[in-house]
Amino acid sequence: MNMVAYRPGDSDERPWGRWQVLDVGPGFVVKRITVKPGGILSLQLHRHRAEHWFIARGVAQVTLEEQIFDRRAGDAVDIPVGTPHRIANPGTEPLEFIEVQYGERLEETDIVRLEDRYGRS
């Protein structure tokens, strides 16, 4: 059974930027995420969902397990369930990416923060 706790239009401001839910369906959620210049999300993992990121604008510095690499507009990244990951904006312009979450349980509480610049771990 799929459990999706998001609704289209849900959004939240975070210290690094903001997210907004664009669409929701059985087993998936689509978010638009904007990261401020110099912003960085927590190093985190998810126990119940995988993610696919499509970089729409800007430059992203991606951490996936022990690897750190850059991605630009048009590039994509797949994050398997349980994989430590993060994204940062090393640029001077906003970074925008589309995140597709997919899995049996999709909720904001499925975040295990391993490290966080903003003291939320």
Q: How confident is the model at residue 120 (pLDDT cuts 50, 70, 90)?
A: confident
Q: Give the predicted TM-score (pTM) of the model.
A: 0.92
Taking the C-alpha atoms of residue 113 and residue 24, their distance in angstroms, rounded to an integer, is: 24
Pick from 33, 34, 30, 25: nearest CA to 4 = 25
33 near 51, Cβ under 8 Å? no
Q: Quick one: DSSP state of residue 9?
A: T
The tally of CA atoms less than 13 A away on the side-chain side of residue 70 is 8
Ordered structural domains, the chain, with CATH: 3-115 (2.60.120.10)
Average pLDDT over residues 3-28: 94
Supply the pLDDT for residue 1.
60
